[in-house]
Amino acid sequence: MKTLKSLMIFLAMLWFAPSNANTDDAEAGITAEITFTRTSKNIWRVSYKFSAPVSAIDLGPAVASYRTEAWTVLTPNVQLVSDHDNERLVIEGAAVTEIVLEAHRYTVMPEANYMPFAWFSDNGASMYLGHFMGDVETTDGLQTPQYDFILQGRSNENTLMPLREGNEPVFAYFGPQVPVVTDSIVLIADPGLPTWLRDMVDEIVPVLASTYASALQIQLPSKPVVMIAAGDIDIFSQAKHMKGGALKRQFNLAFAGLPPKRDEKEDLQKLIAHEMAHVWQRPEGINDFGVPWVYEGGADAMAVAALQQAGIWTGEQVRAFSKDAAARCEKDLGGMDLDEAEANNNWAAAYSCGYAMYAQTGMDVLTLWALMVRHPDAAKTGYTPEILSASLPIH
Ligand SMILES: [Zn+2]
């Protein structure tokens, strides 16, 4: 068993070895290697090594209180400071090539940002590495380093780093699970998921992956990594108890607070299909999503179409969802039009009304998206209403 397990981990690693080939983002510029070492259940030692001295790292906007509460800087003369809305690691005195800090488990799910950790019931953890990345100040001015990551788990722990394209941030896994590799995906599912939910995940995730791949005619450069964590169920009394997050080649789903209930099965199927749609909305070359109602409503529309095409949802379920989305749209807009709603960051309307816009086209949504992902402007602007209408047969 041990040998088979090692072989499977080795294969998974080989398949997902980080690519060094794509260094477009940082031509001969500065490079940064960060080693994440899990030193105990709740603590990671995070060690930066830069190819040239830096005097500060601009980490971008605060992630709730994650960095101020859960990080401890160990390198002397380095401080975490807040400048305007951004957080920075600032070096007092001579510039340095190494910075070491500790990151502790953090359980808040920040709004409109990636959760720092998705926790598994066996104390595995999926950690978002993007919160450690940033531009650096050097003698040549502000530079974007090419980041590379090294993962070290505790003894008897596996680690998994999804394939990164260019300088993309990722969630990395540390824990006892062996990734399950199917024809279409790599899955790490929490062993503590309720059985009905685990069965549902096993049933729909691979089927949806092949539905998207064949309907959109996209061969992804690597199998998407799907991580589903349920370690925070029953621990926190957050009303909002599930969060999904998609990156280019992976998506995460985390449950916290109240346990998922069977009558949420349909919502969960849609959520999983929605997050997976985002992965297929970003074939190579497409980095930005663009206008929220176009891609979020689009992801809901793709999700519903894929669920139906894969035989998971009936036509009746699709019609009920569409009817509900139209009613939600009306309510979410509250008298605004969609452009106004967009300008006011009305995300609810982006989903419900975006979905309704696709439903109104009367076109098969997966066929439509097969055209949209190939539109020449998609790589430049992300998805826009213009790209959507240019992809319709009559416009
Ligand atoms: Zn989404």
Please give the C-alpha separations between residue 351 and each of 183, 367, 382, in angstroms, as whole numbers: 31, 20, 17
Tokens of residue 253, six digits: 């789903």
The rounded Å distance from CA 287 to ligand 1 centre is 15
Q: Please give the chain's pLDDT, 395 residues, in tens.
A: 333 444 344 333 333 333 334 444 445 699 999 999 999 999 999 999 999 999 999 999 999 999 999 999 999 999 999 988 899 999 999 999 999 999 999 988 887 788 899 999 999 999 999 999 999 999 999 999 999 999 999 999 999 998 888 888 999 999 999 999 988 899 999 999 989 999 999 999 999 999 999 999 988 888 899 999 988 765 544 445 667 677 888 888 888 777 778 888 898 999 999 999 999 998 888 888 899 999 999 999 999 999 999 999 999 999 999 999 999 999 999 888 888 888 888 888 999 999 999 999 989 999 999 999 999 999 999 999 999 999 998 75
The rounded Å distance from CA 325 to ligand 1 centre is 15
Cβ contact 31:144 at 8 Å: no
Q: Is the pTM of this model over 0.85?
A: no
Cβ contact 326:353 at 8 Å: no
CB atoms under 10 Å from CB of 364, counted, come to 12
In whole angstroms, give the CA distance from residue 222 to residue 163.
Answer: 7
The rounded Å distance from CA 195 to ligand 1 centre is 26
The rounded Å distance from CA 274 to ligand 1 centre is 6
Instruction: Look at residue 79 and give its three-state secondary structure.
Output: strand
Q: Give the chain's length.
A: 395
Q: In this structure, which CATH number among 3.30.2290, 2.60.40, 1.25.40, 3.30.1890 belongs to the domain 29-176?
A: 2.60.40
The rounded Å distance from CA 299 to ligand 1 centre is 6
Q: Is the dihedral of CA 135, 376, 274, 185 positive or negative?
A: negative
The rounded Å distance from CA 328 to ligand 1 centre is 17
Q: What pLDDT, on the 0 to 100 scale, is given for residue 23? A: 40
Distance of CA 218 to the CA centre of its chain: 19
Exposure class string for 281-298: b at 16+ Cβ within 10 A, else e: bbbeebeebbbbbbbbbb
Written as one string, the DSSP assignment of 209-257 is: HHHHHHHHT---SSPPEEEEEEEEETT---S--EEEEEETTEEEEEEEE
In whole angstroms, give the CA distance from residue 302 to residue 45.
Answer: 40
245 Cβ neighbours under 8 A, 6+ residues apart: 114, 115, 171, 251, 252, 275
Assign domain 179-279 to its CATH architecture: 2-Layer Sandwich (3.30)
136 Cβ neighbours under 8 A, 6+ residues apart: 30, 32, 50, 54, 56, 57, 58, 142, 143, 144, 145
The rounded Å distance from CA 278 to ligand 1 centre is 7
Instruction: Look at residue 58 and give its three-state secondary structure.
Output: strand
In whole angstroms, give the CA distance from residue 105 to residue 90.
Answer: 23
The rounded Å distance from CA 379 to ligand 1 centre is 18
Domain with CATH 3.30.160 in the chain: 179-279
Instruction: Look at residue 229 and give its three-state secondary structure.
Output: strand
The rounded Å distance from CA 207 to ligand 1 centre is 20
The rounded Å distance from CA 297 to ligand 1 centre is 8
Q: For 103, phi and psi rounded to 5 degrees? A: -115, 130
Q: Is the dihedral of CA 133, 243, 113, 333 positive or negative?
A: positive
The rounded Å distance from CA 115 to ligand 1 centre is 15
The rounded Å distance from CA 296 to ligand 1 centre is 5
Tokens of residue 104, six digits: 């502790």
The residues facing 82 across adjacent strands are 87
Cβ contact 23:7 at 8 Å: no
Domain with CATH 2.60.40 in the chain: 29-176
The rounded Å distance from CA 291 to ligand 1 centre is 12
